[in-house]
């Protein structure tokens, strides 16, 4: 069966977003620094339709993460909330007119909406009946490929607690955030049995991948 995989950047003190998240600061205070290793890369620039960029040991990790992914799941805050600050209707989220997914994206929300088709192959589907139906729909849409769970922390923690995540690839960043959204919050020891699959040292980050039983 296709895997549910999480790739997420985490500070040393366990945060995947900084405090005081808002529409103007979706990653929270200091949260952008969690992705400082990613932004200079050719792979990041390509995802956003730009040229140039660097290649380093993180490049192979990013490419591996993007292989064989047929659908993405995310929480409503990661999509951009239910409505935006600029009065757009329908609000297209903050991923721009050509979001970097290029496949169906399932947004877990309490706010029912029609699907939203964007440029470049991304269609946002809004799922209001919880994480298991969202996974079932994403698996269906992925047509045998894997499903990526993009975030944020609360949705990832819900899937982890429910035992639905198969692989976790953490990008551990040399940063102490001191507050924000904590990965693994609310989990207890019995919830997860992890096996380390590989660790890759790269400039400014270490990527450690785990299988979850």
- Point out which span in 10-18, 39-47, 85-93, 134-142 binds a second copy (CB under 8 A): 10-18
Nearer to a second copy, 30 or 104 (CB): 30
Q: Which is nearer to a second copy, 47 or 172 (CB)?
A: 172
Of 23 and 194, which CB lies nearer to a second copy in the complex structure? Answer: 194
Strand partners for 114: none
Tell me the window of 77-85, 86-94, 143-151, 183-191 that interacts with a second copy (CB under 8 A): 183-191
Pick 19 or 53: Cβ nearer a second copy = 19
- Dist. CA 26–CA 135, nearest whole Å: 24
Q: How many residues does the chain have?
A: 213
Give DSSP secondary structure letters for 31-87: GGGGGTTTTTBHHHHHHTT----B--HHHHHHHHHHTTEEEEEEEHHHHT-SS-TT-
Binding to a second copy by residue 94, rule CB under 8 A?
A: no
CB of residue 58 to a second copy, shortest distance in Å:
12
Query: CB atoms < 10 A from the CB of 109, how many?
Result: 18
Nearer to a second copy, 77 or 207 (CB): 207
CB of 65: closest distance to a second copy in angstroms?
18
Should residue 172 be labelled a site residue for a second copy when binding is judged by CB under 8 A?
A: yes
Decide: is 162 part of the binding site for a second copy (CB under 8 A). Answer: no
Angle at CA of residue 108, ends 105 and 110, nearest 5°: 140
Q: Exposed/middle/buried for 67, CB within 10 Å: 0-12, 13-18, 19+?
A: exposed
Binding mask 184-203 for a second copy (x = CB under 8 A): x--xxx-xx-xxx-xxxx-x
Helix axes 153-161, 131-142, angle to 10 degrees: 90
Rounded least distance, CB 130 to a second copy, Å? 23
Strand partners, 75: 108
Q: Identify which of residues 142 and 177 has a Cβ nearer to a second copy in the complex.
A: 177
Q: 160 CB contacts (<8 Å, ≥6 apart)? A: 6, 168, 184, 187, 191, 192, 212
Query: In a 3-state reduction of DSSP, which class is residue 20?
Result: coil
Q: Based on the shown chain and the rule CB under 8 A, indicate whether residue 39 belongs to the binding site for a second copy.
A: no
Q: Which residues in this chain contact a second copy in the complex, by CB under 8 A?
A: 12-14, 30, 170, 172, 174-179, 182-184, 187-189, 191-192, 194-196, 198-201, 203-206, 208, 210
């Amino acid at each position: 069966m296709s895997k549910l995989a999480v790739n997420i950047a985490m500070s040393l003190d366990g945060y995947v977003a900084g405090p005081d998240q808002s529409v103007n600061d979706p990653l929270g205070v200091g949260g952008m620094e969690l992705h400082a290793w990613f932004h200079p890369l050719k792979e990041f620039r390509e995802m956003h339709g730009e040229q140039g960029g660097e290649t380093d040991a993180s490049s192979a990790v990013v490419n591996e993460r993007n292989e064989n992914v047929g659908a993405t799941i995310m929480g409503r805050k990661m999509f951009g909330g239910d409505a935006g600050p600029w009065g757009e209707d329908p609000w297209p989220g903050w991923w721009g007119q050509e979001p970097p997914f290029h496949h169906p994206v399932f947004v877990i929300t309490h706010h029912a909406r029609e699907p939203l088709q964007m440029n470049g192959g991304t269609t946002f589907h809004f799922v209001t009946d919880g994480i298991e139906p969202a996974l079932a729909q994403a698996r269906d849409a992925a047509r045998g490929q894997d499903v990526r769970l993009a975030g944020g922390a609360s949705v990832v923690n819900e899937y982890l607690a429910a035992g639905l995540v198969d692989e976790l690839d953490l990008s551990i960043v040399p940063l102490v955030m001191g507050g924000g959204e904590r990965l693994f919050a609310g989990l207890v020891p019995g919830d997860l049995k992890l096996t380390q699959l590989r660790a890759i040292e790269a400039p400014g980050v270490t990527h450690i991948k785990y299988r979850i039983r």
